[in-house]
Structures are given as C-alpha cells and as structure tokens.
Amino acid sequence: MKNILVLLALCCVSITYAQQRSFEITGQLTSEEDSMPLEAATVYLQRETDSTLITYTISNQKGVFTLENKTSDKQADLYVSFMGYKTYRTKVSLDTSKINLGTIKLSENAAKLDEVLIKSQAPVTIKKDTLEFNVKSFKTKKDANIEDLLKELPGVEVGPDGKIKINGKPVNQVLVNGKAFLVTILLLPPEI
C-alpha cells in the first residue's frame, strides 16, 4: 500500500511538471518622446489569478530584455517599470514558446506635483549597485522566516555555509527596512 501511495505521488508531481511550458519573451524599450533606449528598466511577468511573480529581468544598454521561464499559465500580465515613465502593462498569451513584443514605447509621467510619494510595485528595483526586492511580490507562508523568503527570490542562492549569492555574485550586506541584517548566522543549519 505504501509503494502505491509513493507511485501515485510521483505520478501527480510528474503530471504537474509536464504541464509547465517553457517560454521566452523578448522586446525593446524606448522613450516615446525621443526613441532613446531605456536601460535598467524592470520588466516582470505576474500571474493573473494572484499577482505572484513568475519571472523578472532588467533591460540592457540597448533597452532590450528577455524573460525566460516555465509556467502552466495560459496568459499572464507583463509590466514595465522605469523611473519617470508611466508603468506599461499588457496581457501576454503564453501559448507559444517564443514571443517577440517588438518595440515598446514608454511615455513620460508628466504629472507635476508639489509633493510626491513614490511607492514601487515592481518586485525588483535597481538602485546603483543595490537590488531592492519588494517582499509583498513573493509568496511565502504566513510564519515564514528570512531563509524561506530568500529561497523564493529569483536568482538568490543560499549555500550550505549560509553564504548568499545573487545571480552568482556574493552578497556583501543584507538590509531589512534600511538597517543591516546579519543573515548568515540565521541560515546556518542547526547542530545535531
């Protein structure tokens, strides 16, 4: 009986995995005003059902971006966020493996106010040499700890020694709400 349950569980996992399709979404970001490429714009794909992040990327010097991942979703919401420009949003059908969106022209955010409070909805924002993750964009359990969160962040690896790497590069410092946070102590496995 135990072997049948294990076999059934493996079948369910393989069926779920088999339903996921690979996709590659490409495009180029330019300014609507002068057609200049927009470097370091955040491009991200979210599920329609619960707005969780599927994948994200940053545009290169020529404004070109490539989003690659696997999902079982038939369509998703694509967002482009860039400081000083209106956030671009479109639905993308994921029924083909290669999707070229061509050139996406972003319009400047011309609203002028006396006081501005900027709240970013982008899951990842680049500020000089710092990556800022919006924790609300990533699904974790209600009682999750920092290690659980780090495992959900795309491109983040936590080594067995507790060292953190993002996109293969070691992390020098982790800040939580702008204050230094010593993560390596929390991530060491408990002694047995």
Work out the percent of the chain whose per-residue pLDDT is above 70.
74
pTM more than 0.75: no
Cα 64–Cα 30–Cα 60 angle in degrees, nearest 5: 30
8 Å CB contact between 155 and 167: yes
Q: Average of pLDDT values for 119-138?
A: 71
Whether pLDDT at 190 is above 70: no
The model's pLDDT over 94-123, given as tens digits with 9 standing for 90+, comes to 989 999 999 999 999 876 556 666 665 677
The model's pLDDT over 154-177, given as tens digits with 9 standing for 90+, comes to 777 878 877 788 777 887 777 776
Distance of CA 57 to the CA centre of its chain: 7
Q: Average of pLDDT values for 135-140?
A: 74
- Which domains are assigned to the chain? 2-111 (2.60.40.10), 140-187 (no CATH)
Q: Average of pLDDT values for 135-146?
A: 75
Distance of CA 42 to the CA centre of its chain: 9
Distance of alpha carbon 82 from alpha carbon 40, whole angstroms: 8
Distance of alpha carbon 52 from alpha carbon 162, whole angstroms: 26
